[in-house]
């Protein structure tokens, strides 16, 4: 086994992730795994700019990541920028500032590349079978949908309908009003036409949620049952449909203080989990698929698999 120490950074709209690992693509050992709720899209996601405070939080986090990378004798580094940086008018300024102040080169990828990495991550978690699945990765800026199996990707597309964008558009009042839910459904109907066509063609039998909100769903369900639950120890999780639907209903009807009091929802996700819940149940109903599971692997594990492969 090689002793390549690699660092992968996934710089999302809400969260910046740092994963330092060693080993091979199939069996890697996590040395460090950090998630920082940077909220890069806060206040500006649908305006197309990174706001000054968010910009500063992002730079500070990247400098902190640099110190961890230096402390862990990392040999290969990859920092991936996604939807928020991609769609911001000052995204390049952010990339330049990070290079200057944290000495990290950010590689900006498009939605297609993002979906490809997510598929590789999901595949590495071992959750795919020879039957077609619909993978969905709900980010803050974009949502990637991939239809595939353990052999190949059959179809993939990235849509700029991430949780931060949907929240900004539809979840202005808490709890979210029924009228806003209906409006959001109509909006998704219009946005996701390509996906529905692909689903008719490839007929996925289950939905696999990639990390993010799906991890929160799993953790809340397990903790509610009084079971110990450690996301770091699992690669995948299968939902009991009734439990999932009950939780989603609770979250959709909830207000901020109720959500904040629920053990298992990280602070950065307390508000965005409402539109993520709506998007999840929308997909289950639209596709007629009650079978949902979750993979803790996502984009960064896909990048890591490639780097160690």
Lowest average pLDDT, out of 18-32, 126-140, 205-219, goes to: 18-32
pTM, 2 dp:
0.93
Q: Determine the Cα–Cα distance for residues 216 and 170; give it in Å rounded to an integer.
A: 21
- Assess whether pLDDT exceeds 80 at residue 296: yes
> Computed over its alpha carbons, how large is the radius of gyration of the chain?
19
Q: Are 8 and 30 in contact (CB under 8 A)?
A: no
pLDDT at 2: 53
- Long-range (24+ apart) CB contacts under 8 A made by 157-161 are 157/111, 157/112, 157/115, 157/194, 157/195, 157/198, 158/83, 158/110, 158/111, 158/112, 158/114, 158/115, 159/111, 159/191, 159/192, 159/195, 160/83, 160/87, 160/111, 161/187, 161/188, 161/191, 161/192, 161/279
**What average pLDDT does the segment 138-161 reach?**
96
pLDDT at 51: 94
Domain regions of the chain by residue span: 5-108, 123-299
Q: Please indicate whether the domains covering 5-108 and 123-299 agree at the CATH topology level.
A: yes
Residue 111 pLDDT > 70, yes or no? yes
User: What string of H, E and C letters represents the secondary structure of 21-85?
Assistant: EEECCCCEEEEEEEEECCCCCCCCCCCCCCCHHHHHHHHHHHHHHHHHHHHCCCCEEEEEECHHH
pLDDT band at 231 (very low <50, low <70, confident <90, very high): confident
Q: What is the pLDDT of residues 233-243, one digit of tens each?
A: 899 999 999 99
Tell me the pLDDT of the chain averaged across its residues.
Answer: 94
Domain 123-299 fold: Nucleotidyltransferase; domain 5 (3.30.420)
pLDDT in tens, 177-199: 999 999 999 999 999 999 999 99
Pick the CATH number of 5-108 from 3.40.190.10, 1.20.1740.10, 3.40.50.300, 3.30.420.40: 3.30.420.40
More confident call, 24 vs 144: 144
Is there a contact between 54 and 84 (Cβ–Cβ < 8 Å)? no
The CA distance from 181 to 179, in Å, is 5
In the chain, what's the furthest Cα-to-Cα distance? 57
Task: Report how far residue 159's alpha carbon sits from residue 145's, in angstroms, rounded to the nearest whole number.
Answer: 8
Average pLDDT over residues 240-249: 98
Q: 137: pLDDT confidence band, cut at 50, 70 and 90?
A: very high
Cα–Cα distance between 134 and 154 in angstroms, integer? 10
pLDDT at 1: 44
3-state secondary structure 112-124: HHHHHHHHHHHHH
What's the average model confidence in pLDDT over 124-136?
Answer: 96
């Amino acid at each position: 086994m090689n002793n390549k120490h690699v660092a992968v950074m996934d710089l999302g709209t809400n969260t910046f992730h740092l994963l330092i690992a060693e080993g091979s693509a199939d069996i890697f050992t996590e040395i460090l795994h950090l998630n920082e709720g940077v909220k890069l899209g806060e206040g500006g996601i649908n305006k197309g700019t990174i706001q000054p405070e968010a910009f500063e939080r992002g730079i500070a986090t990247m400098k902190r990541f640099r110190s961890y990378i230096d402390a862990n004798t990392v040999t290969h580094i990859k920092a991936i920028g996604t939807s928020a940086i991609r769609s911001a008018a000052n995204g390049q300024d952010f990339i330049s500032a990070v290079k200057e102040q944290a000495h990290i080169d950010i590689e900006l990828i498009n939605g297609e590349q993002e979906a490809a990495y997510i598929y590789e991550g999901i595949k590495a978690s071992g959750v795919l079978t020879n039957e077609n699945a619909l993978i969905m990765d709900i980010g803050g800026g974009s949502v990637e949908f991939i239809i595939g199996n353990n052999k190949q990707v059959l179809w993939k597309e990235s849509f700029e309908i991430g949780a931060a964008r949907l929240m900004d558009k539809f979840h202005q009042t808490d709890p979210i009003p029924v009228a806003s839910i209906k409006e959001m459904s109509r909006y998704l109907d219009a946005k996701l036409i390509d996906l529905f066509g692909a689903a008719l063609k490839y007929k996925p039998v289950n939905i696999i949620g990639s990390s993010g909100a799906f991890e929160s769903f799993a953790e809340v369900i397990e903790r509610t049952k009084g079971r110990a639950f450690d996301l770091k120890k699992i690669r995948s999780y299968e939902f009991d449909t009734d439990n999932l639907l009950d939780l989603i209903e609770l979250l959709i009807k909830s207000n901020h203080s109720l959500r904040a009091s629920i053990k298992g929802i990280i602070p950065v996700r307390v508000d965005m989990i409402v539109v993520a819940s709506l998007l999840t149940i929308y997909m289950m109903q639209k596709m007629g698929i009650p079978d949902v599971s979750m993979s803790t692997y996502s984009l960064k594990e896909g990048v890591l698999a490639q780097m160690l492969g």
